[in-house]
């Protein structure tokens, strides 16, 4: 199996339309069809069911799509890291979910800059659950993730700190004046259904709460009285005036970890991780 053919298949499996896939790949449709047919012959399986109306993945095709994405991400990562390894002073990319761990990030970057021979650190702000993908496809070298919300499968990690959680409420709400609260009191508010975050695949769970992707969007919706959320207590610092953070007594703790691909051999990444665990 060639990488080129695998890339063709992944694009087609994502589009499920030969015309759109060919356009995305900047090629004609007949060569794409021939490449997919050749790939199926090589593997001895049917990857796609084709009718005059639609294209669908077979079970084997769904497996190859999942595996193919991982392979292509690894190839991209290998290309980038190989090129960077040839430069004495390359950039290090740190992925962080937008709006989280601001104080920790500031301390980490400040401490790392003081290290002899420190590389330039580019901060990559992302949305929920994107850090793992960014590490796997080589767009990021290290990332901050939050357990149990983020997956660390295929990554190496070091624990940085653990904290409690708070409920983010409109300041005008009756519960905002409480010194502490319980989870059931927050999740049972009919006027403020819990916000819904996308899963790693981008799908939202069922429920009445607002669909959100980042903290700016979330906080605006909470201030408007449309939703609420239980979050790590660090997210409750420096809130806008119309929001209040109330500690949630029985919410499980959240652990922040620094993560990196298990195959990484970047000296600069190792130095940043060492500084992070020392803070």
Instruction: Give residue-wise pLDDT tens across range 188-235.
Output: 999 999 999 988 777 888 999 999 988 889 999 999 999 999 999 988
- What's the length of the chain? 279
Q: What's residue 90's pLDDT? A: 64
User: CB-hemisphere CA count at 13 Å for 60?
Assistant: 9
Residues 6+ apart with CB under 8 A from 108: 272, 275, 276, 279
Q: How confident is the model at residue 71 (pLDDT cuts 50, 70, 90)?
A: confident
The DSSP symbol for 251 reads S
Across 71-95, average pLDDT: 73
Residue with token string 């519960």:
175
Residues 6+ apart with CB under 8 A from 216: 98, 99
pLDDT at 87 over 90: no
Across 112-137, average pLDDT: 88
Could you give the percent of the chain with pLDDT greater than 90?
A: 58
The DSSP symbol for 194 reads B
Nearest to 112 by CA among 269, 255, 7: 269
User: Which carries the bigger pLDDT value, residue 13 or residue 74?
Assistant: 13
Q: What's residue 9's pLDDT? A: 93
- For 152-180, letters b (16+ CB in 10 Å) and e give beebebeebeeeebbbbbbeebebbeeee
pLDDT at 103 over 90: no
pLDDT at 79 over 80: no
User: CB-hemisphere CA count at 13 Å for 147?
Assistant: 14
pLDDT at 83 over 80: no
Do the bridges between strand 142-147 and strand 254-261 make them parallel or antiparallel, or are there none, so unpaired?
Answer: antiparallel
Q: What's residue 172's pLDDT? A: 95
The average confidence (pLDDT) of the chain is: 89
Q: What's residue 236's pLDDT? A: 84
Q: What's residue 111's pLDDT? A: 94
- Tell me how far apart the alpha carbons of residues 200 and 205 are, in angstroms, rounded to a whole number: 11
pLDDT at 16 over 60: yes
User: Phi/psi class of residue 44: alpha, beta or left (left: φ > 0; alpha: ψ in -120 to 50)?
Assistant: left
- Tell me how far apart the alpha carbons of residues 175 and 166 are, in angstroms, rounded to a whole number: 12
Could you read off the pLDDT of 164-197 as tens digits, one per residue? 999 999 999 999 999 999 999 999 999 999 999 9
Q: How confident is the model at residue 85 (pLDDT cuts 50, 70, 90)?
A: low
Could you give the percent of the chain with pLDDT greater than 70?
A: 96
Q: How confident is the model at residue 81 (pLDDT cuts 50, 70, 90)?
A: low
Q: How confident is the model at residue 86 (pLDDT cuts 50, 70, 90)?
A: low
- Strand blocks (E) in 33-90: 48-50, 55-57
3 state SS of 129: coil
């Amino acid at each position: 199996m060639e990488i080129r053919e695998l890339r063709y298949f992944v694009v087609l499996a994502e589009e499920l339309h030969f015309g759109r896939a060919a356009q995305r790949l900047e090629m004609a449709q007949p060569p794409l069809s021939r490449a997919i047919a050749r790939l199926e012959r090589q593997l001895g399986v049917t990857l796609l069911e084709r009718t005059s109306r639609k294209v669908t993945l077979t079970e084997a095709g769904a497996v190859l799509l999942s595996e193919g994405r991982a392979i292509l991400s690894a190839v991209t990562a290998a290309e980038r890291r190989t090129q960077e390894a040839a430069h004495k002073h390359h950039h290090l990319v740190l992925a962080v979910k937008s709006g989280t761990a601001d104080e920790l990030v500031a301390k980490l970057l400040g401490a790392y800059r003081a290290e002899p021979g420190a590389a330039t650190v580019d901060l990559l702000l992302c949305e929920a659950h994107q850090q793992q993908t960014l590490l796997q496809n080589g767009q990021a070298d290290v990332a901050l993730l939050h357990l149990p919300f983020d997956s660390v499968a295929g990554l190496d990690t070091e624990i940085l700190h653990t904290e409690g959680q708070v409920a983010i409420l409109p300041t005008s709400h009756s519960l905002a004046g409480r010194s502490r609260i319980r989870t059931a009191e927050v999740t049972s508010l009919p006027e403020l259904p819990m916000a819904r975050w996308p899963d790693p695949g981008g799908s939202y769970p069922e429920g009445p709460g607002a669909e959100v992707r980042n903290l700016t969007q979330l906080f605006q919706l909470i201030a408007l009285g449309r939703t609420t959320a239980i979050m790590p207590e660090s997210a409750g610092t420096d809130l806008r005036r119309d929001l209040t953070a109330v500690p949630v007594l029985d919410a499980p703790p959240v652990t922040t970890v620094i993560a990196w691909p298990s195959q990484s051999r970047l000296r600069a990444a190792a130095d940043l991780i060492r500084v992070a665990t020392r803070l």
